[in-house]
Every structure is written in C-alpha cells, then in structure tokens.
Structure 1
C-alpha cells in the first residue's frame, strides 16, 4: 500500500499563515518523476509574514521579479536560489496582495529514497537516510525541485502536498526562532519556526528552546 494519501485541496491554503505552518508538519511533500514518486514527511518549517517582517523577502511590500509570486494567490510554490547554488521551496499563503510564505526546511524521507540519493553527489551522501533532506537546500536537491516550479500550484502534480495514507503517531511540536536571519533585527526572535521534536531529519542538531 502506498504511503501517500490524497493531495490537499485548494481550501487548505485559505487558512491563516500560522495555522498552515503548524499543519504542514506531518504532511508529505510529493515529487512525481519519470522513474516514480519521491516523498518526504515535513518535519520542519518557518513562516514569513511580509511586508512588515524584516526576515521576509517581501519586507517593505514592493514586488520584485523574485518575489512576485508571494503577492499572488495562496498555495503556489515560491522557489528561490541561495548562495548561487541551492534552491529553497516555500508555500505561498495569505490572500493575494498579502506577501506571506512558509519555508519548508526539512523532510523525513519516506518514498523513493534511492532516487533521492541519486540526486546527491557521492561525496556528499549522508551516512543516514534520515539526513538526505535535512535542510531547505538539501530537500530541493534530493527531490530535484528547481526554479522551474516557481508559481506551481502545490495541490497538483508533479509537485504537491499530500496527507499520509496512515496518520503518524502523536508527536510533540517544537516552536522557536527562525534560523540564519540575524540581519532581521527584532524579527529574528519571532517564534515562527516549527518542528517535530526528536525527529532525526530536523535540519539542526541543537534545537532552540520552546
């Protein structure tokens, strides 16, 4: 039996940004490919709420070529490049004109693990399968998510969010400051990062206090 259940529907994205962020934990991110699907359980994410959030790319409220999708309809993919080499995937939230998004930070690999490893250079193969997608750049590399998915609706193949076929056992949610946004002033301390406590695929080993 497949571990992948039904996709979310468009109504999922009509909730407020924090509700969506909390509910993303435990959902599957699915990437259909020619050689079969790949999927991972979302175990970490961060929310960004422009235009007032100094940590958000949409801070200030002026759309750019890079951030235009954040000002559009919710439920779209915002994919951008960091350090000139790593793509990162965000879920656009909030009504059109309100530039919010949620960065998917880490996945627990569930389906297509060997396919994921094939996308990773041999010298960078983690010892544990749990670490294949333990970071925003790593998960995009593992699932072959590129900027070609910019603006893609995340309730539709070939890249979409889905419920697990069988619900996960109960887990404890961690809540704390976002990572690597020291430039954001007081916004760096906002408790807008969410993760599954104790999960081996969370991006950082030492987790902020809850």
Structure 2
C-alpha cells in the first residue's frame, strides 16, 4: 500500500479554502480490518460555517446531525442525503469555526477489484465502460466505492479506518475553480468559487 506520509491533524486546522485546494492530489485510504482501498482526491468543495448559507452550521445551528462540525479539524463528518447517500466531509479549523471540506470525487488507485465490488458487485475487469467511468465520480458514489458510512461520523482521521496521505503536488494551472454544485437554496452564496477540481480528470463529477 503506497500511502505516502500520513497527514497530521494540523493540516486540517488551517483555512478551509486552503485545505480544500491542497487536498487535490492527496491520497485517501480506507482500512477495513486490514483490507485497504486507496484513491486520489480529485474534487472538493469548501463550506465556510456560520456565514455560509450552504453550510449546515450556518447561523450557528447545532443539531444532532451537524454537531460534528463543531469538533476540531481532522474529524470525519458523514451525513445522509436523499435518504440513501452518505457524504464524506473533513472538518477544518477549530470549534469556534464549524467548517468542512466535502470530498466530491476520487480516482481509484489501489485494490480496484475491491472498490469495484463495493460499487457494482463485480471485479474491475468485468465492469462496462460506463461503470468504470462512474465508480467514484461523485460524493455518493465514492462513499459506496470506499465503504464510507455514518459509522465514521465524529471520529478523528486514523490509519485504523480512514486517513489521508501525501500525494502528488498539483500545479496551479491544473487546478480548476468553480462554484459549488447543487446548492441553489444558498442564494448568492451558491456563486462563491469554492469548488476545486483536478483539470481533465475523468473522476470529476461535473465539468
């Protein structure tokens, strides 16, 4: 398993936008009883807490669902949408700044058969072209591919179950910045340039 150096929690206690940008190219590793699934992060979104209408903690809201956002950076925030998809976020900054980065897309790197079986119930070589393209190009898809679920919510990143390691350094020219996806309810905040993607990567969810 070529994970590289594991990122320390201090990496996530920085400015949320900087964390979201610098996660592009990093490796995400899921460990299930010694069975490892490894992928490269290729798409993220930043959610900026109390003053961001798209963030679950907007206005200082605290609920059973979002209370993980009020933990220090480096904690895992997983929540359910549409009654069926678990979405993976990494909490950033500190308890007074309930912010997070959503992991939106990853490129499978290692244990492709395991990732494929998680997602489609069959080995990678048996996948259709369509299935290969849709392995992990979206937040719900990647959670299925890497077996990420709400049992991880509130836990600190750890090599025992889920962690992020160093990966490739992405040049500024290869970083695409756009507005976030699917948050029209957030009014003007929906137009903030807070989505970051690896240019021309097939596992980015949308152009």
How does the TM-score come out when normalised to structure 2?
Answer: 0.91
Residue number in structure 2 paired with 1:111: 110
Residue number in structure 2 paired with 1:187: 189
The Cα of 1:168 is off from its aligned counterpart by: 5.8
In the TM superposition, 1:16-95 aligns within 5 A as 16-34=15-33, 36-95=35-94
Distance 2:34 2:162 in 1: 14
Deviation string for 1:27-81 (max 9, x for gaps)?
1110012362101100000000111111111111121000001011111000000
Deviation string for 1:84-113 (max 9, x for gaps)?
001000010111121101100000000111
Distance 2:128 2:85 in 1: 17
Change in CA separation of 1:16 and 1:169 when aligned onto 2, cut-off 3 Å: closer
Distance 1:126 1:76 in 2: 36
Change in CA separation of 1:129 and 1:35 when aligned onto 2, cut-off 3 Å: farther
**Structure 2: segments with no counterpart, 5+ residues:** none
**Structure 1: segments with no counterpart, 5+ residues:** none
Confirm or deny: 8 A CA contact 1:7 1:155 kept in the other structure. Answer: no
How does the TM-score come out when normalised to structure 1?
Answer: 0.90
Confirm or deny: 8 A CA contact 1:50 1:99 kept in the other structure. Answer: yes
Higher mean C-alpha displacement, 48-57 vs 184-193: 48-57
Residue number in structure 2 paired with 1:173: 175
Change in CA separation of 1:203 and 1:126 when aligned onto 2, cut-off 3 Å: farther
Confirm or deny: 8 A CA contact 2:10 2:74 kept in the other structure. Answer: no
Residue number in structure 1 paired with 2:150: 147
Name the SS for the 2:186 alignment partner.
helix
Confirm or deny: 8 A CA contact 2:10 2:73 kept in the other structure. Answer: no
Confirm or deny: 8 A CA contact 1:8 1:155 kept in the other structure. Answer: no
Structure number with the higher helix fraction is 2
